[in-house]
């Protein structure tokens, strides 16, 4: 059976780092098994869904290299949900409920005050046909709940959490449809997973109780359809937290747009999120195949996974240092060729910094104040400069022999005069890029008072 996973965002905002991690792990799970990764746009909430966010989700996945193998939109499947709802209704698995939000809140407060769990008491299920008719005659439109079967515990083998067991009597019958006829998450998601042949649902641990409820929905739907369909396997990974160890509002707004603004490489994001929260080391691996091959749900821990910007910057710098010229050529300043990239690359943490370093070649450079002794030394350097395949080492060897200087007194004044800086790219690579004419002019200018 082909492994099929799905990523199901709601287009009510931009993807954030937690969404990205979920998408990545579903993509990796499918790729490792040679399966399919689907994108499902959960846009049944017409009031909050925006087409601009649909496009942003697609663009972000493409930028990350997580393009799906297929796409579905819930707004185009409403008749499927209606049919499923009617089938469950005929089977006695959904029922109308008439409590207002205020009435439900009051019930919860009373239960909590008595030390009881705030579980829905199935008050509406106890209404007679006459009482229901009276409610509707008063203009009260019902919302609809799925009736949980209390006869057997709900069990499944979770891919991360291991054996799971829920007592359905300790769960509220979930609302699946609002009074205005619109759908909540639970039923459409279950219908889609069955219809799309989803074999594996990998999502955050905040969905564990949803899974318990949906397993009964899957069972009821399959029975109502008399279909040969399979309930997906489930795995629930620990949620992301900030480096301080708490759930962070910032993580809810940190997404691909923020990463692009910081010039973070997609491969750095992938390398970090692929193994964050697992027992495997987080390393600057840009080879997707290597990451996919090592992907294993058994390595996922139960503790919250800590997202740290500092670690992302470290990985980004390491990946930038390994990027070939062809991968970045379109993002480099005019005139920077492969030799220039090779010289500048070790000094970068982000590709966008290349322009600042390239100015060491093109100029202008910062003027430095030199002592009289160093000015004489730089004057001698200008006279000694001879162009060759390796002008830097030829120049420093000649100056060492003629002046007796070595180490920092030999190299630092030359670097300062040629680049205006105390540190930077390897001068053996940089000097040929500066060129003979420009190099001699800089040495001569530094030698003048």
In the predicted structure, residue 420 carries a pLDDT above the cut 90: yes
In the predicted structure, residue 124 carries a pLDDT above the cut 90: yes
pLDDT of residue 1: 84
Residue among 243, 174, 238 at smallest CA distance from 206: 238
- The per-residue DSSP string of 73-140 comes to EGGG-HHHHHHHHHHHHHTT-EEEE---HHHHHHHHHHHHHTT-------TGGG--HHHHHHHHHTT-
Q: 30 near 36, Cβ under 8 Å?
A: yes
Architecture of domain 363-447: Orthogonal Bundle (1.10)
Q: 136 near 124, Cβ under 8 Å?
A: no
Percent of the chain residues past pLDDT 70, beyond the cut:
99
Q: Which residue has the higher pLDDT, 254 or 68?
A: 68
Q: Render pLDDT for 130-151 as a digit per residue (tens, 0 to 9).
A: 999 999 999 999 999 999 999 9
Q: Which residue has the higher pLDDT, 244 or 121?
A: 121
Q: Render pLDDT for 54-95 as a digit per residue (tens, 0 to 9).
A: 999 999 999 999 999 999 999 999 999 999 999 999 999 999
> Looking at the domain that runs over 4-237, which CATH code has it been given?
3.40.50.620
pLDDT of residue 248: 64
pLDDT of residue 418: 97
Confidence of residue 159 (pLDDT cuts 50, 70, 90): very high
pLDDT of residue 246: 65
Confidence of residue 227 (pLDDT cuts 50, 70, 90): confident
State the average pLDDT over residues 333-344: 96
Residue among 434, 399, 406 at smallest CA distance from 418: 434
Q: Render pLDDT for 284-297 as a digit per residue (tens, 0 to 9).
A: 999 999 999 999 99
Annotated binding site: which residue ranges?
249
State the average pLDDT over residues 99-106: 92
Domain ranges of the chain: 4-237, 242-320, 325-361, 363-447
Confidence of residue 249 (pLDDT cuts 50, 70, 90): low
Architecture of domain 242-320: Orthogonal Bundle (1.10)
Confidence of residue 156 (pLDDT cuts 50, 70, 90): very high
pLDDT of residue 247: 59
Please give the C-alpha separations between residue 250 and each of 295, 310, 346, in angstroms, as whole numbers.
27, 15, 31
d(CA 175, CA 196): 23
Residue among 260, 259, 204, 289 at smallest CA distance from 21: 204
Annotated binding site for ATP: which residue ranges?
249
């Amino acid at each position: 059976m082909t492994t099929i996973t799905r990523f199901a965002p709601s287009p009510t905002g931009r993807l954030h780092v937690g969404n990205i991690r979920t998408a990545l792990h579903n993509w990796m799970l499918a790729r490792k098994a040679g399966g399919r990764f689907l994108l499902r746009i959960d846009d049944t909430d017409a009031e909050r869904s925006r087409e601009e966010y649909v496009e942003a989700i697609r663009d972000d996945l493409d930028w990350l290299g997580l393009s799906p193998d297929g796409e579905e939109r819930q707004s185009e499947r409403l008749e499927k949900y209606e049919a499923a709802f009617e089938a469950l209704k005929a089977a006695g698995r959904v029922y109308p409920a008439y409590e207002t939000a205020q009435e439900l809140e009051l019930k919860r407060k009373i239960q909590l005050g008595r030390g009881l769990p705030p579980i829905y008491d199935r008050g509406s299920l106890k209404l007679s046909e006459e009482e229901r008719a009276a409610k509707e005659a008063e203009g009260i439109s019902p919302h609809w709940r799925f009736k949980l079967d209390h006869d057997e515990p709900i069990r499944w083998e979770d891919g991360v959490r291991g054996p799971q067991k829920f007592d359905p009597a300790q769960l509220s019958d979930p609302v699946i449809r609002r009074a205005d006829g619109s759908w909540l998450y639970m039923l459409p998601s279950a219908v889609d997973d069955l219809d799309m042949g989803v074999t594996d649902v990998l999502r955050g641990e905040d969905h564990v109780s949803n899974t318990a409820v949906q397993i009964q929905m899957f069972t009821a739907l399959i029975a109502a359809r008399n279909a040969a369909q399979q309930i997906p396997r489930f795995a629930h990974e620990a949620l992301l937290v900030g480096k301080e160890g708490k759930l962070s509002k910032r993580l809810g707004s940190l997404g691909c747009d923020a990463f692009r603004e910081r010039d973070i490489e997609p491969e750095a994001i992938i390398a970090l999120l692929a193994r964050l929260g697992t027992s495997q080391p987080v390393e600057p691996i840009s080879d997707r195949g290597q990451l996919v091959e090592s992907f294993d749900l058994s390595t996922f821990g139960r503790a919250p996974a800590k997202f740290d910007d500092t670690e992302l910057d470290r990985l980004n710098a390491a990946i930038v240092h390994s990027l070939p010229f062809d991968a970045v050529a379109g993002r480099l300043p005019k005139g920077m060729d492969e030799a220039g990239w090779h010289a500048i690359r070790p000094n970068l943490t982000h590709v966008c910094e290349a322009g600042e370093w390239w100015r060491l070649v093109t100029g202008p450079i910062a003027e430095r104040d030199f002592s009289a002794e160093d000015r004489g030394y730089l004057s001698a350097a200008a006279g000694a400069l001879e162009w060759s395949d390796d002008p830097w080492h030829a120049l420093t060897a000649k100056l060492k022999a003629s002046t007796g200087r070595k180490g920092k007194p030999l190299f630092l004044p030359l670097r300062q005069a040629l680049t205006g800086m105390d540190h930077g790219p390897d001068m053996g690579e940089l000097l040929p890029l500066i060129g003979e004419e420009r190099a001699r002019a800089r040495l001569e200018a530094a030698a003048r008072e």
